[in-house]
Amino acid sequence: MVLTEDNVLFSYEVRIAVNPEKTGEFLEFCHSAANRFKQEKGYLALGIYRDSDHARNYILVSQWESEEAMEHHLRGDTFSLLKGGAIVLGRHFTLKIVEPASKDYSRWERLNLHW
């Protein structure tokens, strides 16, 4: 599915500074999380970006078809797993509700992970 301003209204991003020695584990964790996301009602996409200037910094952008679907996800087990992984594998993380059409990730490298 191609995501456009017209069909993506609800999104959040999680910014994580990953401990350098845990990068491989972090990417495996993202793969596992993505498979869980796909099973949730209203899920559209998960993008993972790495900062071009600071390779240990990542952004996970999760997109949902409705506010209700995103809120259900944020209260659920999969998001709890994501928070736990961010705590264990990262130095710190932040969560932000965003409007994806207005975000500029041009200085970030999108990781084309296959899941």
**Environment class of residue 96 by beta-carbon count within 10 Å: exposed (0-12), middle (13-18) or buried (19+)?**
exposed
Class of 10-100 in CATH: alpha beta
Closest by alpha carbon to 47, among 55, 38, 59, 56? 59
Q: What is the pLDDT of residues 70-110, one digit of tens each?
A: 999 999 999 998 888 888 888 878 888 776 555 666 767 77
Residue 112: pLDDT band with limits 50, 70, 90: low
Please state, in angstroms and rounded to a whole number, the distance separating the CA atoms of residues 61 and 27. Answer: 14
Q: Which residue has the tokens 């993380």?
A: 93
Please state, in angstroms and rounded to a whole number, the distance separating the CA atoms of residues 61 and 80. Answer: 16
Q: What is the pTM of this model?
A: 0.75
Please state, in angstroms and rounded to a whole number, the distance separating the CA atoms of residues 1 and 47. Answer: 13
